[in-house]
Amino acid sequence: MSVQGSHGHSHSKSPQSLRLTKGAKKVLEVLERTDELSSAQDIHSALRSEEDSPPGLTTVYRSLESLVQLGLVQAVDFGDGERRYEMVKPGEHHHHLVCEVCRTSVHLDQCLVQQLEESIQAKYKFEVRGHILEIFGLCEQCQQAMTPAGKK
Amino acid sequence: MSVQGSHGHSHSKSPQSLRLTKGAKKVLEVLERTDELSSAQDIHSALRSEEDSPPGLTTVYRSLESLVQLGLVQAVDFGDGERRYEMVKPGEHHHHLVCEVCRTSVHLDQCLVQQLEESIQAKYKFEVRGHILEIFGLCEQCQQAMTPAGKK
DNA sequence: TGGCAAATGAAAACCGTTTTCACTACTAAA
DNA sequence: TTTAGTAGTGAAAACGGTTTTCATTTGCCA
Ligand SMILES: [Mn+2]
Ligand SMILES: [Mn+2]
Ligand SMILES: [Zn+2]
Ligand SMILES: [Zn+2]
């Protein structure tokens, strides 16, 4: 994930607001019924294929920005150039185990970083504000599919 | 960091080899005497300003690729679109505390993920192959520079 | 020395994302 | 209702880091 942003600006609403705009609602709807991570483009084409007048890609990007700000959506970074998004319980976040073969991902049930914030503050005098953490490897099925054939 | 790649292909040397090419050496030299993280472009312009016939940007990218492969250099991803690199002891890696204000970074002395690999394997049946972990926030100086002025 | 594979670099292509800017939809007075 | 003023929208262009392409050069070795 990337627990960045979400600076608690109550006011200072420089346009592209913190209100759920029409487009943003549609974007949220898509994420609501998707369990896999979706890129902006994924969301855009999903909308494209079901809405009569779907929001443009620009709006999707802008919507995602505010949804993330609002804490309703989490942005996830896998280090390939493409950001992905998923709905989360307001204000929460989590990290993933991503299978390098089948690309499916599992949520980690707890955040390793959060539970270290105090010790990091103590040890390094560093105030943690955000972090990225994603783990890559092989899911159970892909591990098995690997060994039989001997094709390490 | 991004402890990806480094697939143990002994042979199968599809060009852009695992041998330290001339360009790669120059790139490594730059990283050798830099303690901050450097982007490909950083390295390129460094070379540009000191070499008589500096490698082109393409070569820098290619060199970094093989240096990472060789385990001599680590690629770090901050989630902004720009990959950064730094020299590491062969095969090692580490993560960072990155100050959002002054952009300096400190190395974490141990990898949180590595020491959890077994428990992840046990709990999720997931074989860890690589990971990304970077922590953002405020370094000591920037914390102090913040509070006095009251400018949260 | 000739032959070849590897290395190199300039330029173009890529591709996700952001900016620009003209236009439309809201909303809240008047 | 009309009328502003404001926020939202989208097409197209710009961006910026990275990758591809492809023609040329370099280094090796038979
Ligand atoms: Mn998730
Ligand atoms: Mn470092
Ligand atoms: Zn898998
Ligand atoms: Zn700082």
Does residue A98 share a domain with residue A59?
no
> How many structural domains does chain A have?
2
* pLDDT over threshold 60, residue B79: yes
B16 and B76 housed in the same domain: yes
Instruction: Check if B137 contacts A (Cβ < 8 Å).
Output: yes
A41 touches strand D (CB under 7 A): no
Q: Is B145 on the interface with A (CB under 8 A)?
A: no
Would you call B15 an interface residue with chain A, using a CB distance cutoff of 8 Å? no
The per-residue pLDDT for range B121-135, each reduced to its tens digit, is 999 999 999 999 999
Judgement on whether residues A64 and A128 belong to the same structural domain of the protein? no
Mark whether B84 and B99 lie in a shared domain: no
Domain span at residue A124?
93-152
A109 and A84 belong to one structural domain: no
Q: Is the same domain home to A66 and A133?
A: no
pLDDT digits (tens, 9 = 90+) for B59-68: 999 999 999 9
One domain for residues A108 and A84: no
* Boundary residue ending a domain (B89, B106, B134): B89
Q: What chain B residue is nearest to A99 in terms of C-alpha separation? A: B126
Comparing B13 with A138, which gets the higher pLDDT? A138
Supply the mean pLDDT for chain B: 89
What pLDDT is recorded for position B117? 96
pLDDT at B39: 98
Query: A110 and A150, same structural domain?
Result: yes
Residue numbers in B near A128 (CB within 8 A): 97, 135-137
Tokens for B149? 């002025």
The pTM assigned to this predicted structure is 0.88
pLDDT digits (tens, 9 = 90+) for A41-67: 999 999 999 999 999 999 999 999 999
**Cβ atoms A102, A136 nearer than 8 A:** no
Same domain, B123 and B146: yes
Coil/strand/helix, residue B72:
coil
Q: Verify that A131 and A74 share a domain, yes or no.
A: no
Interstrand relation of A127-138 and A96-99 (parallel, antiparallel or unpaired): parallel
Instruction: For residue B12, name the pLDDT band (cuts at 50, 70, 90).
Output: very low
Which nucleotides of strand C lie within 7 A of protein CB? Answer: 6-11, 15-20, 26
For A115, name the nearest residue in chain B, comparing CA atoms only. Answer: B112
CATH assignment at residue A139: 3.30.1490.190
**Helices vs. strands in chain A: H and E counts, helices first:** 5, 6
Ligand 4 centroid, distance to B104 Cα (angstroms): 6
CB A73 within 8 A of CB A30: no
Residues B78 and B34 in one domain: yes
Question: Tokens representing A9?
Answer: 């600006």
Same domain, yes or no, for B5 and B55? yes
CATH for A43: 1.10.10.10
DSSP B107-129: E-SS-TTGGGHHHHHHHH--EEE
Q: How far apart are CA B14 and CA B109, in angstroms?
A: 35
Cβ of A45 less than 7 A from strand D: no
Average pLDDT of A74-78? 96
**Ramachandran region, residue A19 (left: φ > 0; alpha: ψ -120 to 50; beta: rest):** beta
Average pLDDT of chain A, as a whole number: 89
Confirm or reject contact between A5 and chain B (CB < 8 A): no
Q: Is the alpha carbon torsion for B6, B7, B11, B16 positive or negative?
A: negative
